[in-house]
């Protein structure tokens, strides 16, 4: 009988080669499916982050209007700005007079101090500030069932529980209990916000209370007094007498305090010198050795005197020893820090002598559009509010709406009309910010800043008639793309740098950088908008108002140390990270946790692999916790950032002349001046806000 072939039975229908091809095809299909699943997982994680941020905002912010959802399913605005009352030196001076120290026994003081040092935010305060906070807190007795605070109500005080037990509830559900020695409500001392939960006493007890205005005064007063004291010392140093206030203020920022005990050598003869000393407390003796090796006392110096100033010129050998004659506290400046912030003193003095150093009053204003801002404004001076026709709504928010408008006064063109509710502005105490926004934007003349042409007012609104940027918010473009590649992110950040150079050269700090405040014009170039938190600084001075977007605020703003242009450099680093990864680096379910993560520092961040080495290096240099160490804060300003390797080969001249190719991912395709296809559809607003006639807006 016949049998099967000795090689065994071969399956019918497919050859070996066909099976191998089929398996390879299935393998590739499986790999594609895995990649797709991974992409979906990443998208889910992004959406989770957005949900967390939105939940946080809804808990912490008053009177927010929920905006429609984008086609991609994500919220149009993910980040909302916050602001405290405008806080100036006059505030601190006036309230400082009212600061009262309240008597406490030792145990009470220790309980408050321990509560502060165990709190993630308050532990960052300086020792002198902790002492002042402890002394300034006042006692409040509470009864059983009494509410310490109620969910949704505004908060303006911080508490430390001394006696009793408190219950925390949110939306009627019990979240937990608070025992003595805990801090309650620290977010309320930073800015006006709604309480996120209700707290009720379960038994009679006692609280120690600190009001926001007292905390702000303590922080600002200590910072101002320290800066003024340091500046007065520096102004007496002959070597520094020709430096301007801006340079002296930078030196004051890097001064450190060192303590020495009687007999300690502060400076030893023959050593190389790299530190300059100012005596803050105590006395020193200056000695020099003779050829025979004996020490001869040359002089005695007390508080306010200085020595070692030649170390700022070069690392020469010390020609004498300086020894503490008592307990001594010295203010010190390192030569490296001095040169980084101010420059080589020899060269600087030569420039001053030859009048080649222009100082803060003669800064070159770069980045201008080349046209006269007065001529541009004249074009629109005869337009009145009733000359405008609303085409569509470009955006909505808590303060009002932005409408796209046309008019026979500017045929073939469209503009944006920002309509701000006056009642809401007054209720949130933002009058000064709105007035500042108008002044700064009316004077601005840069192709990287959206232009403001005219303002109006009536009983319900103030109106800002502005340039329309029909490419939409950069935030929207980013969300559609997910992330930007290096060339696109580089282009966007370069546009911001041009805008910041223009502003900083006019001593204006911006303070609210984020993709939501960057608009794309019809050609694809990025423009800065929304100047509600911008402020003009006096030379060498800081500002103290807490404002900005939680994910973007710099550590010195959180800690109320006073801030200046360095806060904008920090924000550039955060913007880079968000453009490259799709999310800012510091994100938490609520603002206070976000602030605590920021205070931990960028060094603790795990940089995603997709962020390249050069980008990572620049982000970390911009986001130094110490503002004086940030790239851009040194003597060469923003040029330090431009010269970083991440920008190597970038065409800055092409950007300024608008001849550089725009990245395809952000360049809009528009069909005329009224094309709003990149914006969401908004229903007509039928609500009528209340009148507000206090007169704060008389110059609009």
The arrangement of strands across the sheet holding 321-324 comes to 265-267, 321-324, 284-289, 295-301
Burial 251-267 (b: 16+ CB within 10 A, else e): bbbbbeeeebeeeeebb
Give just the sign of the alpha carbon dihedral 114, 115, 121, 127: negative
According to DSSP, residue 239 is labeled: G
**Among candidate residues 564, 651, 653, 579, the one with its CA nearest the CA of residue 610:** 579
396 labelled as ligand-binding? yes
418 labelled as ligand-binding? yes
* CA distance from start to end of the chain: 110
Q: How far apart are CA 679 and CA 472, in angstroms?
A: 6
239 labelled as ligand-binding? no
Please answer whether residues 449 and 437 qualify as being in contact, where contact means their C-beta atoms are separated by less than 8 angstroms: no
Query: Hey, is 651 helix, strand or coil?
Result: coil
> Treating both helix axes as pointing N-terminal to C-terminal, what angle do 89-96 and 212-235 enclose, rounded to 10 degrees?
110
Please answer whether residues 496 and 513 qualify as being in contact, where contact means their C-beta atoms are separated by less than 8 angstroms: yes
Quick check: is 253 catalytic? no
394 labelled as ligand-binding? yes
Please answer whether residues 602 and 591 qualify as being in contact, where contact means their C-beta atoms are separated by less than 8 angstroms: no
**Among candidate residues 693, 690, 697, the one with its CA nearest the CA of residue 63:** 690
Strands 328-334 and 275-281: antiparallel
Q: At residue 364, what are phi and psi to the nearest 5 degrees?
A: -75, 125
DSSP string covering 1-24: -----TT-PPPSS--HHHHHHHHH
Q: How far apart are CA 377 and CA 443, in angstroms?
A: 10
CA distances 138 to 102, 110, 157, 217, 431, Å, are 6, 15, 11, 16, 31
Q: How far apart are CA 148 and CA 84, in angstroms?
A: 22
Q: Which residues are within 8 A (CB) of 476 and not within 5 positions of it... i.e. 6 or more apart? A: 70, 76, 678
348 labelled as ligand-binding? no
Q: At residue 690, what are phi and psi to the nearest 5 degrees?
A: -70, 155
371 labelled as ligand-binding? no
630 labelled as ligand-binding? no
Q: Active-site residue among 253, 512, 564, 568?
A: 512
DSSP string covering 311-327: GGT--PBPSSEEEESSS
398 labelled as ligand-binding? yes
Q: How far apart are CA 465 and CA 388, in angstroms?
A: 10
Q: How far apart are CA 210 and CA 188, in angstroms?
A: 10
**Among candidate residues 265, 261, 320, 250, the one with its CA nearest the CA of residue 288:** 320
395 labelled as ligand-binding? yes
**Among candidate residues 444, 427, 400, the one with its CA nearest the CA of residue 83:** 427
Q: Which residues are within 8 A (CB) of 504 and not within 5 positions of it... i.e. 6 or more apart? A: 565, 568, 637, 638
Query: Nearest 5°: CA angle at 406, between 400 and 411?
Result: 155
Token code pair at residue 541 = 């001075």
491 labelled as ligand-binding? no
Feature table: binding site for ATP? 394-402, 418
Feature table: binding site? 394-402, 418
Which residues are part of the catalytic machinery? 512
């Amino acid at each position: 009988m016949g049998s099967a072939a000795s090689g065994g039975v071969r399956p019918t229908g497919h050859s070996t080669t066909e099976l191998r091809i089929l398996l390879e095809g299935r393998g590739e299909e499986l790999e594609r499916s895995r990649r797709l699943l991974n992409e979906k997982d990443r998208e889910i994680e992004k959406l989770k982050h957005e949900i967390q941020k939105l939940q946080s905002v809804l808990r912490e912010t008053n009177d927010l209007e929920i905006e429609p959802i984008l086609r991609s399913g994500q919220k149009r605005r993910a980040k909302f700005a916050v602001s405290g009352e405008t806080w100036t030196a006059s505030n601190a001076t006036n309230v400082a007079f009212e600061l009262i120290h309240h008597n406490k026994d030792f145990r009470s003081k220790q309980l408050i101090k321990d509560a502060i040092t165990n709190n993630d935010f308050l532990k960052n305060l300086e020792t002198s500030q902790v002492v002042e906070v402890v002394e300034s807190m006042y006692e409040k007795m509470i009864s059983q069932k009494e509410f310490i605070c109620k969910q949704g109500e505004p908060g303006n005080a911080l508490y430390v529980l001394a006696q009793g037990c408190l219950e925390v509830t949110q939306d009627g559900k019990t979240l937990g209990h608070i025992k003595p020695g805990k801090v309650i409500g620290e977010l309320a001392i930073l800015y006006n916000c709604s309480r996120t939960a209700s707290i009720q006493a379960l038994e009679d007890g006692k609280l120690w209370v600190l009001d926001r205005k007292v905390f702000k005064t303590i922080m600002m007063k200590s910072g101002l007094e320290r800066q003024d004291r340091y500046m007065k010392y520096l102004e007496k140093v002959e070597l520094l007498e020709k430096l301007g206030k801006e340079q002296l203020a930078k030196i004051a920022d890097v001064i450190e305090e060192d303590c020495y005990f009687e007999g300690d050598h502060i400076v030893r003869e023959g050593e190389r010198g790299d530190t300059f000393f100012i005596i803050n407390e105590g006395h020193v003796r200056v000695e020099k050795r003779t050829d025979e090796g004996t020490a001869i006392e040359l002089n005695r110096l007390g508080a306010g005197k200085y020595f070692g100033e030649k170390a700022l010129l070069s690392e020469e050998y010390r020609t004498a020893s300086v020894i503490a004659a008592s307990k001594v506290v010295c203010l010190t400046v390192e030569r490296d820090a001095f040169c980084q912030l101010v420059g080589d003193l020899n060269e600087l003095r030569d420039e001053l002598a030859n009048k080649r150093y222009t100082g803060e009053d003669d800064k070159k204003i770069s980045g201008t559009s080349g046209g006269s801002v007065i001529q541009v404004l004249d074009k629109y001076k005869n337009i009145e509010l009733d000359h405008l026709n609303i085409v569509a709504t470009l955006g909505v928010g808590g303060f009002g709406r932005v409408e796209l408008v046309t008019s026979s006064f500017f045929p073939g063109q469209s503009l944006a009309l920002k309509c701000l509710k006056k009642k809401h502005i007054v209720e949130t105490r933002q009058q000064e910010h709105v007035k500042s926004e108008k002044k700064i934007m009316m004077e601005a003349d840069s192709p990287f800043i959206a232009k403001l042409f005219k303002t109006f007012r009536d009983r319900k609104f103030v109106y800002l008639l502005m340039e329309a940027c029909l490419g939409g918010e950069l935030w929207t473009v980013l969300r559609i793309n997910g992330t930007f590649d290096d060339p696109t992110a580089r282009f966007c950040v370069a546009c911001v740098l041009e805008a910041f150079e223009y502003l900083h050269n006019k001593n204006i700090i911006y303070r609210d950088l984020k993709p939501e405040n960057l608009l794309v014009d019809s050609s694809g170039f990025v423009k800065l908008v929304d100047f509600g938190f911008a402020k003009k600084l006096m030379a060498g001075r800081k500002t103290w108002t807490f404002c900005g977007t939680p994910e973007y605020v710099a550590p010195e703003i959180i800690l109320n140390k006073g801030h200046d242009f360095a806060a904008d450099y920090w924000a550039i680093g955060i913007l880079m990270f968000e453009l490259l990864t799709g999310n800012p680096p510091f994100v938490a379910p609520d603002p206070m946790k976000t602030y605590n993560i920021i205070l931990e520092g960028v060094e603790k961040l795990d940089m995603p692999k997709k962020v390249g080495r050069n980008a990572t290096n620049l982000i970390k240099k911009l986001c130094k916790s110490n503002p004086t160490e940030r790239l851009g804060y040194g003597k060469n300003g923003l040029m330090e950032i431009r010269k970083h390797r991440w920008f190597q080969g970038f065409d800055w001249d092409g950007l300024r002349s608008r001849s550089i190719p725009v990245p395809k991912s952000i360049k809009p395709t528009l069909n005329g001046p009224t094309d709003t296809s990149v914006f969401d559809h908004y229903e007509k607003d039928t609500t009528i806000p209340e009148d507000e006639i206090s007169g704060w807006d008389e110059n609009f």
